Structures are given as C-alpha cells and as structure tokens.
C-alpha cells in the first residue's frame, strides 16, 4: 500500500514494519450497520459486524500477542474509527486480552453538521444535508453507535454520534484526528462547488467560515493535525510525509503521539518537549499553508499555483491586502513564496 500502509521506511518512517490489515469498505454504512439481508430487505449493511469478525479472526493470527492495535480509516472509514474504537477495545477485553492498547486514527471523517451553503432537497446522497443523510441511513443500516455517546442524546437522535465533535468527548480510547480545514467532501455536501466559474463572494466567505468552525471543534482534541488545505484524505497518500503544520509533518506528529501514550502509561508525565501533537493551522483561507498538496483544475486537470488558485476562487488581492494591512504586491509576493 501507500502512505501509512507502505512497507518502505522512506514513505512510512514510523510504522513501515508493523503488521497491517486492510479492510475494504463494502458495507456503505459508515462501518455502523448491523442489518442482514432478509425477505423484506434485499440489502445487507453489516459494517459494525464485519469489524468484529475481523478482530476475532486476527486474534488467532498473532493479534493476541500485540501491545497496540491502531484502528485507522479515511473518510467514511475515519468516522467508522470514531464509532468503533471503544467497541473494539471492549471486544478484546471480553475475549481476555485487556493488555492490548486500542487507539484510533481518524482521517477526513470529522464532518460538521453545519448549515449548507444552499439548502437542497434530499434526493440522493450528494444533495442531502449531512444530518438528514445520516438520519435516513441509520434506519436502513440498523446503525449501532457507542453506548456512552447514545446516552448523551434522546432516543431517535443517535445520528448525532456520527459527528466527530459530538462523539469525541465520550470516547475512552485515545484518538488522533486528522482533518483538512477545507475538506472537499464537506464542501460537496454543503453544496459549495469549486469548478468552472470563479467562486462568488458569498461562497468565499462561507469557505473561510467553514475553516473557522472546524478549527473551533478541534481546540479540545488532544492529538490533531489540521492543515489549511482544500483536499480529502491523506494517510494513504504517498505524499503524506510532505504536508506540514507549524513545521511538523503528520508521520512525526503520529510518532510523538505514540511516544506520549507510551510515556504516560509509564508515569503520567506532561507532554514530551519538542514533540507536538496538537497541530492546527491558523491561517484563514485554503492553501495558505505552503506545504498543501498540488491543486488541479477539476475540468482541465492542469496544475495551479497558489495565486492562480486564489484568483480562480475569486480572491480579491486588493481587499485582502487592505484587511491584512499590507501592500497588494507584498501580499502577492508572500503568497507565491508560500509564506
């Protein structure tokens, strides 16, 4: 595999020689379903049960002697980590393996149940507002959410537990959250489409506000990595080592997190010096971080530099320079050099 699944030390400096198991996403239920095929229901949604079966099978293949189990996932898999990490820990305890430390790594699955830029009727998954999609989905999937989260909400309101900032405070296992501040999947469900026409001012303000809201939901997340880029998914990309927040790459932050958990198990010490695990960009617009992945025009496939991208987004250099108290030429210079 690539990124965190790679067995090359250059591409995966910390976990290249770990035992890895990849579970394909075939259940379409955000890993929450427990609904088998029946006479009335021709579809099976069994994501939650698939994970349990895989854990059972792996115990006989060496998992029983593991010190750490890292449950990782991207996009729907990232949300699936939040929904399943405590259940996996409980399952291993019940099977008689309380010594295995279970941890989660949720990539691009920390969605917001925010107001859409333009409200649309729920005709399909793309036009459906995130809350409505999950609300309907849970019924089809017979979706399971963790008991501790469920207790926070009224009956019928379990959909809340699919949103990271609501479920995270209820989790027992340590979870590292990786999230682009301007996630493309979030923008799609919010009906902000960045193709073809330059972005209107309303959209531009909406996008910046999304970054602010997301940053806010992560402020109490102990271990997090949130670059100000427009993208989706990162841990299985081979460029995952290139992206930095405040001078720290994601593999380095994960290594720091791993070490801090190891140390705190030993003696409950304060965070390790010079080893940051709470990394969130503070600059305010997409791709203000110079290490962001390359942007491609969705129509032509051409690569764009930051200035071309911002112009395409309808970015007003004069106005922005004024807001930042800079000369326009100075702002353009800073953007093109990536400062």
Catalytic residues: 75, 183, 232
Q: State the greatest distance between any 2 C-alpha atoms of the chain, in Å, as a whole number.
A: 69
Angle at 157 (CA atoms; ends 156, 159), nearest 5 degrees: 115
Angle at 182 (CA atoms; ends 111, 159), nearest 5 degrees: 10
The first and second tokens of residue 115, run together, are: 């107001």
Exposure letters 280-314 (e unless 16+ CB within 10 A, then b): bbeebbbbbbeebbebeeeeeeeebebeebbebbe
- Listing DSSP states for 50-117 in one string gives HHHHHHHHHHTTTGGG-SEEEEEEETHHHHHHHHHHHHHHHHHHHTT-TTSEEEEEEES--------S
> How many angstroms separate the CA atoms of 314 and 288, rounded?
15
Give SS3 for 188: helix
Q: How many residues does the chain have?
A: 339
């Amino acid at each position: 595999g690539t990124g965190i699944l790679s067995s090359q030390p250059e591409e995966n400096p910390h976990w290249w020689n770990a035992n890895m198991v990849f579970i394909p996403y075939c259940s379409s239920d955000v890993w929450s379903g427990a609904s088998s095929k029946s006479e009335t229901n021709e579809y099976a949604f069994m994501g939650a049960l698939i994970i349990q079966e895989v854990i059972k099978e792996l115990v006989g293949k060496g998992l029983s002697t593991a010190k750490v189990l890292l449950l990782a996932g991207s996009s729907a898999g990232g949300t699936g980590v939040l929904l399943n990490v405590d259940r996996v820990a409980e399952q291993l305890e019940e099977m008689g393996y309380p010594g295995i430390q279970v941890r989660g790594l949720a990539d691009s699955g920390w969605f917001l149940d925010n107001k859409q830029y333009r409200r649309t009727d729920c005709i399909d998954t793309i036009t459906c507002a995130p809350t409505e999609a999950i609300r309907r989905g849970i019924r089809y999937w017979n979706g399971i959410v963790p008991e501790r989260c469920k207790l926070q909400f009224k009956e019928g309101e379990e959909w809340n537990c699919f949103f990271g900032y609501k479920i995270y405070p209820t989790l027992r296992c340590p979870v590292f959250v990786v999230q682009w501040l301007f996630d493309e999947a979030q923008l799609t469900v919010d009906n902000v489409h960045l193709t073809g026409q330059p972005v209107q001012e309303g959209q531009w303000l909406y996008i910046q506000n999304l970054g602010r809201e997301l940053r806010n939901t992560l402020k109490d997340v102990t271990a997090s990595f949130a670059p100000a880029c427009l993208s989706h998914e990162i841990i299985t990309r081979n460029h995952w080592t290139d992206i930095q927040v405040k001078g720290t790459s994601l593999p380095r932050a994960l290594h720091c997190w791993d070490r801090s958990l190891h140390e705190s198990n030993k003696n409950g010490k304060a965070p390790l010096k010079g080893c940051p695990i709470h990394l969130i960009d503070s600059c305010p617009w997409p791709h203000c971080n110079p290490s962001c992945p390359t942007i491609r025009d969705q129509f032509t496939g051409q690569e764009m530099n930051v200035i071309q991208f911002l112009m395409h987004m309808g970015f007003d250099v004069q106005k922005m320079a004024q807001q930042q108290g800079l000369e326009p030429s100075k702002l353009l210079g800073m953007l093109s050099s990536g400062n």
